[in-house]
């Protein structure tokens, strides 16, 4: 399920002593077609974990988990059958646990979007807690790293790698990364948003000299449309350039990928499509090999 317009809380970039770390596991990446199978949260007070929440979910229509999800998470269909609770009950219990806390997560918009749509669909309630993304903060803390995925940061900080892709373990890793970034930036650090200015894709070139020529993005041309949640348009252009790719302002015959952010607030949307989406679709129909990616799918490839 996906709501037409998410009225989410505020995105913060700062260090707070009191918050809840959250993480979910799902059957896939798309809120319209996939389901939450596990929710976990850690309640933090004065920077110390004081309580934890963990719940497996037996979602509506469950028969068995896809094999690749079991391989990734270690969660089996038997676990869901024996321990899972209905989605509505899991969501109510989760909301009771986090109350009005700020929530912290890694690539947290993924978690929030799934939770928001399910909470709205099952409980008719807007999940509007303010939130902090450790992915965003890690990019500020460690600009020298090529990747800032959870696993990359776990390896960088030599953290425990047991039970990764289980929600509780990922929460614990996220909490540790949040603390490490605080040590780097200082507990009083707050991101100051600068006034927006027009960003030109042609102004961006790689800041590194060695590339993985086998990577999906290498020597590919990228266009972005809609409001990106994980990073600014400027950051997105630089990411593409640092993979040896070519950021573009608009769709043309060289374009290989169109990445779609949130289009709810775009003034260029007509019949549900932005102008760039419409042009990309027309190019596809004419035989050009353009792939259209969600922002979440783009991030998963980093």
By annotation, the residues acting in catalysis are: 165
Distances (CA, A) of 228 to 61, 109, 147: 32, 10, 18
Q: What span, in angstroms and rounded, lies between the C-alpha atoms of 159 and 152? A: 10
**Cβ 57 vs Cβ 65: under 8 Å:** no
Nearest C-alpha neighbor of 31 from the set 95, 72, 87: 87
Cα-atom radius of gyration of the chain, to the nearest Å? 20
Nearest C-alpha neighbor of 167 from the set 99, 90, 92: 90
DSSP 20: E
Helix (H, G, I), strand (E, B) or coil at 238: helix
**Residue corresponding to tokens 């099952």:** 122
- Work out the number of other CB atoms within 10 angstroms of the CB of residue 267: 5
**Token pair recorded at residue 181:** 């970034």
List the alpha helices (DSSP H) in 124-263: 134-141, 150-156, 167-185, 233-242
DSSP lists the bridge partners of residue 223 as: 258
- Work out the number of other CB atoms within 10 angstroms of the CB of residue 161: 11
């Amino acid at each position: 399920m996906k709501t037409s317009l998410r009225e989410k809380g505020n995105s913060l970039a700062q260090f707070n002593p009191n918050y809840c770390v959250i993480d979910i596991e799902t059957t896939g990446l798309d809120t319209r077609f996939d389901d939450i199978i596990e929710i976990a949260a850690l309640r933090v007070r004065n920077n110390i974990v004081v309580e934890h929440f963990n719940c497996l979910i037996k979602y509506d229509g469950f028969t068995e988990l896809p094999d690749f999800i079991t391989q990734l998470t270690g969660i089996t269909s038997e676990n869901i059958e024996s321990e899972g609770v209905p989605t509505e009950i899991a969501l109510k219990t989760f909301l009771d646990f986090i109350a009005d806390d700020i929530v912290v997560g890694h690539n947290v918009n993924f978690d929030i979007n799934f939770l928001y749509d399910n909470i709205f669909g099952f409980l008719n309630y807007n999940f509007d807690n303010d939130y902090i993304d450790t992915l965003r903060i890690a990019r500020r803390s460690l600009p020298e790293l090529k990747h800032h995925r959870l696993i990359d940061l776990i390896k960088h900080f030599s953290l425990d790698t047991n039970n990764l892709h289980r929600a509780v373990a990922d929460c614990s890793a996220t909490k540790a990364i949040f603390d490490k970034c605080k040590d780097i930036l200082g507990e009083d650090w707050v991101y100051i948003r600068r006034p927006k200015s027009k960003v030109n894709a042609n102004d961006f070139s790689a800041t590194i000299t060695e590339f993985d020529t086998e990577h999906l993005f290498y020597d590919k041309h990228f266009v972005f449309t809609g409001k990106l949640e994980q990073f600014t348009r400027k950051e997105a252009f630089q990411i593409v350039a640092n993979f040896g790719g070519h950021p573009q302002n608009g769709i043309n015959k060289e374009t290989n990928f169109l990445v779609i952010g949130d289009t709810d607030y775009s003034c260029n949307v007509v019949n549900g499509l932005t102008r760039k989406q419409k042009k990309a679709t027309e190019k596809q129909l004419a035989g050009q090999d353009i792939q259209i990616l969600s922002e979440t799918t783009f991030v998963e490839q980093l």
